[in-house]
Structure 1
Amino acid sequence: MQNSDLLPSLLFKINENQQALEAAIMELTLWVEQRGSGEVGGNVRGALDAIRTNEEFINMTLAVLMTPE
């Protein structure tokens, strides 16, 4: 297997890790908000918007990269 063949699988795993981190951070955000820190929660949610904004493009690109030629 050539190194270039590993790239789509590597990117897929990195994307999975990113999604898991997003979920974990959202859990912590909810916990913080329940304890009265709405401003902190809002800041975190704003930062997580970047992940959500890019998610569709990342998934489409991964699908193309992982399609056999």
Structure 2
Amino acid sequence: MPNSDLLPSLLFKINQNQLALEAAIMELTLWVEQRGSGEVGGNVRGALETISKNEDFIKMTLAVLMAPE
């Protein structure tokens, strides 16, 4: 398999890892907020919005990269 064929698979796996980290961080955020640290929770949620905003573009780009030519 040429190296260029590995790139879409690598990016897909990195994206999966990113989404898993987002979910784990959100769980921790909920835990922190339940203990009265709303400001910290709000800051984390703001940072996580970037991941959410970029997700559609990432999915679309991966679909193009992984599509057979």
Is TM > 0.5 for Structure 1 vs Structure 2?
A: yes
Report SS of the residue matched to 1:36.
coil
Give the superposition deviation at 1:7.
0.2
How does 1:1-69 map onto structure 2 within 5 Å?
1-69=1-69
TM-score under structure 2 normalisation? 0.99
Matched residues, number: 69
Give the superposition deviation at 1:15.
0.1
The percentage of counterpart residues that share the same residue type is: 86
TM-score under structure 1 normalisation? 0.99
Report SS of the residue matched to 1:68.
coil
RMSD of aligned alpha carbons: 0.2
Give the superposition deviation at 1:20.
0.1
Matched residues in 2 for 1:32 and 1:51: separation? 20
Matched residues in 2 for 1:68 and 1:9: separation? 13
Q: Which runs of 4+ in 1 moved over 6 A?
A: none
Contiguous gaps of at least 5 residues in structure 1? none
Deviations 1:1-20 (A, max 9, x none): 10000000000000000000
Contiguous gaps of at least 5 residues in structure 2? none
Give the superposition deviation at 1:52.
0.4
